Amino acid sequence: MVKRVRNKGFINFYGEQRVGDAGDETYVGVRSFDVGKAMLKEDFSQAIDLIMAGRSNQVYTPCPEEIEAREIWTKTKDARQTLARFPKNASTMARERDLMRGMLRYDNALEAIRCVHHNVRMVATERIRRFGISPVIGDLYIANDIDEKDGASPDVQIVKNLTSIDISQVVLPLPGYNVQYPTNEIGELYESILFEDGVQFVKEKVSEATAKGSYRKLIQSAHELTWETIDGDPVDDSDDHVILNAKLTFELESGSYATMMLRELMVTTMSRDSKVICVGLPLRETSSIRSSSIRSRSRR
Those residues whose C-beta lies under 8 Å from the C-beta of residue 8, and which sit 6 or more positions away, are 133, 219
Those residues whose C-beta lies under 8 Å from the C-beta of residue 273, and which sit 6 or more positions away, are none
Does residue 15 surpass a pLDDT of 60?
no
Band of pLDDT at residue 223, cut at 50, 70 and 90: confident
The whole-number average pLDDT for the span 57-80 is 87
Nearest to 112 by CA among 50, 172, 47: 47
The whole-number average pLDDT for the span 289-300 is 34
Nearest to 216 by CA among 177, 175, 187: 175
- State if pTM tops 0.85: no
Task: For 179-197, give one letter per residue: b (16+ CB within 10 A) or e.
Answer: bebbebebbebbeeeeeee
pLDDT in tens, 23-47: 566 656 677 778 888 888 889 999 9
Confirm if 135 and 166 have CB atoms less than 8 A apart. Answer: yes
Does residue 9 surpass a pLDDT of 80?
no
pLDDT confidence of residue 42: 87
Band of pLDDT at residue 277, cut at 50, 70 and 90: very low
pLDDT confidence of residue 23: 58
pLDDT in tens, 230-263: 776 565 555 556 677 778 888 888 778 787 788 7
In total, the chain counts a number of residues equal to: 300
Those residues whose C-beta lies under 8 Å from the C-beta of residue 108, and which sit 6 or more positions away, are none
SS3 25: helix
Does residue 19 surpass a pLDDT of 70?
no
Q: Which helix (H) or strand (E) holds 170?
A: strand 170-174
Does residue 72 surpass a pLDDT of 90?
yes
Give the number of other CB atoms < 10 A from CB of residue 100.
25
pLDDT confidence of residue 34: 83
pLDDT confidence of residue 286: 29
Between residues 57 and 49, which one has the greater pLDDT? 49
pLDDT in tens, 120-163: 567 888 888 889 889 999 999 998 765 555 556 788 999 998 98
- Specify the DSSP class assigned to residue 55: B
pLDDT confidence of residue 285: 33
Between residues 196 and 192, which one has the greater pLDDT? 192
